[in-house]
A and B are shown apart, each in its own frame.
Chain A
Amino acid sequence: MLSLTQEERKVILFLVAVALLGLGINFTLKANCRLVKVLVADERITKINLNQASVEELIKTLGITPKLAEKIVAYRNTKGTFKDIAELKEIKGIGDYRYEKLKDLFFVE
């Protein structure tokens, strides 16, 4: 009926299988936003949540000294949570230059 060769069949089946998997994931994500963390490699994988990071985690981050890490955690404890990355600039010791270096390492949730 379709007169497909073996190679064509393999390619079609592979493409349909991949598309079907993508369709299922797409629908699942729409139905439940929280699954984004599991199914999609977003910023949470490459960045640190500023509202959950411990002093040790912060120290391991490039460009943060133990003293600065403590200041960040202290600021967070006083304020409650960070609402925006830009709030980092309010911490003593983080000027514009350092902020530019740090802002891509964190996310706020």
Chain B
Amino acid sequence: MRRPLVIFAFLFCLGIFTANRISLSFWSVYGLTLTFLFLSLLFFKKQLRFDIFLCCLVFLFGIASLKNSRRLPECHISRYTSYKNNYLYIIKGFVDTQPLFQNNRTSFIFNAQEIQFGNLKYKTCGNILVRIKDKRNLDYGERLILSGALYRPFGFNGPQRQNYRDYLYNQGIFSVMSVKVAVRLNENKGFIFRGLAFWLRQRIEAMISQHLTPASASILDAMVLGEKRNIPPLIYNSMIKSGTVHILVVSGFNVGIVAFIIILFLRLIRIPRRMRFYIATPLLILYCLITGASTPVIRATIMAIVFMFAYLVQREPDIYNSCAVATLAILGINPRQLFDIGFQLSFISVISIVYFYPRMKSFLRLDALKIRYIRLVIEGCLVSFSAWLGTLGFIAYYFRIISPVTVLANMFIVPLASLITLCGFSLIIMDLTCPLLVPFFAYSNEFIVTLLLRINAFLIRLPGAYLYLP
């Protein structure tokens, strides 16, 4: 099978990685890129030369993209801030994410449009991370005037290689504001579709916390909505130690379940194949927004859409190509994502599963195994082992921890997590369609979550389950 997109995605990533190491100016890279574009046009009919020039062009495009993303506009909000000063800034703009209440303060991303300090007022742009003391009932898209201290995020070098400031920079946030006064302007500038997603998220969160105990609700929130803020630190740390923390995010599996439910429902009501694709695509995007559009979910959503599209046009779907499309789409919008841990782990785990799993399966001649259930268990182990193998180096580098128990833990935890996710979606659907049955589903959820936590606690107590690196 031809996979030109994989080559392009690889070269684009390589370009971004190289740009981080070299100090060429944007315009010199841009000039080189234009030269290779011209050469590609010139040798359009010469197969090999065209391919080489096109590859160079994509590589240079990667470099130029990162250089461009590092250049901030002249009016960017970060140009008005230093690490710490005592100015009182007044900023006009709108709330760009759903406000979160945690540690007795409300925080959200704020899209700044106008800044005032002293008597000087300027038009500005860019996002800031806003923190307000106490709980505030603010909504996505709401226009506000905020006043308070504005400063650049601090580094906080922890055990991880990437610090908090780098993380925020990769998300496009260069300033933090501690707000003293927030004034509402009673206008809304948000996108309706995104607003709808946040509203649905709130409803589902409320629904889950209504039926489950706080600990179980926090686990289910993480698995169904990607909301990790309520997970007790003890549980979170124990899952890091057992290498199963990946189940606490919304991943391709969840997107797959949502796509399956949507397609199944549409098939039941006899919607034609083409129409099913047109209906399922916006619904998957809506789910992506509900879960906060984190990198793994965006990757999984794009891959699911590419897969469905392949079936629609009756072409054989290829997981490498769909992964390449997802890479190019995410990095095309924000090349800095290449340096984000979530991005790296998400892609490397998918690629290593796709690469190692079939090879290991054929090496062990699993297809010859007659007993189906044993085969399924071994296959599950192999998937888990493939993902662990791929991510091992990254986890050791960033988190300074190696968890040999991961392979064993994933054997039990992953099937249970899949079951919890399925039960979680069933709970939500039941609450909407048949509220009388909800308590039964809630009890099942509660039991499986408890089982998962107990197995996890047992596994990390095994000798040599995990070890911290110096």
Interface residues of chain A, those whose CB is within 8 Å of chain B, are: 1-4, 8-9, 12-13, 16-17, 19-20, 23-24, 26-27, 29-33
Considering the complex, give the chain B residue whose CB is closest to the CB of A17.
B37
Say whether B150 faces chain A, with CB atoms less than 8 Å apart: no
- Establish whether residues A1 and B51, one from each chain, have CB atoms under 8 Å apart when the complex forms: yes
Additional A-B contacts beyond A2-B7, A23-B61 (10; CB < 8 A): A1-B47, A1-B48, A2-B51, A2-B54, A2-B55, A9-B44, A9-B50, A13-B41, A13-B54, A19-B61
Partner of B73, one of A2, A3, A16, A30: A30
* A2-B54, A19-B61 given; A30·B71 CB < 8 A: yes
How many residues of B are counted as interface, with CB atoms below 8 angstroms from the partner's CB atoms? 31
Q: Which of B23-61 contact A (CB under 8 A)?
A: 26, 30, 33-34, 37, 40-41, 44, 47-48, 50-52, 54-55, 57-58, 61
| List of 4 A-B pairs having minimum Cβ-Cβ separation, nearest first | A1-B51, A30-B73, A2-B4, A2-B51
Q: How many A-B residue pairs have CB under 8 A?
A: 63
B376 within 8 A of partner (CB): no
**Least CB distance, A31 to chain B, in whole angstroms:** 7
Q: A9 vs B41: C-alpha distance in the bound complex, in angstroms?
A: 10
Q: A30–B34 contact, CB under 8 A?
A: no
CB closest chain-B residue, reference A32: B74
Confirm or deny: B72 has a beta carbon within 8 angstroms of a beta carbon on chain A: yes
Q: Which residues of B365-387 are within 8 A (CB) of A?
A: none
Residues in B with CB closer than 8 Å to A27 are 26, 30, 67-68, 71
Distance (whole angstroms) from the CB of B31 to the closest CB of chain A: 10
CB distance from A43 to the nearest CB of B (A): 13
13 contacts between A and B (CB under 8 A): A3-B2, A4-B51, A9-B44, A9-B54, A13-B41, A16-B37, A16-B58, A23-B64, A27-B67, A27-B68, A27-B71, A29-B73, A30-B73
Q: What CA separation (Å) do A13 and B34 show in the bound complex?
A: 12
The answer for the CA separation of A12 and B41 in the assembled complex, in Å, is: 11
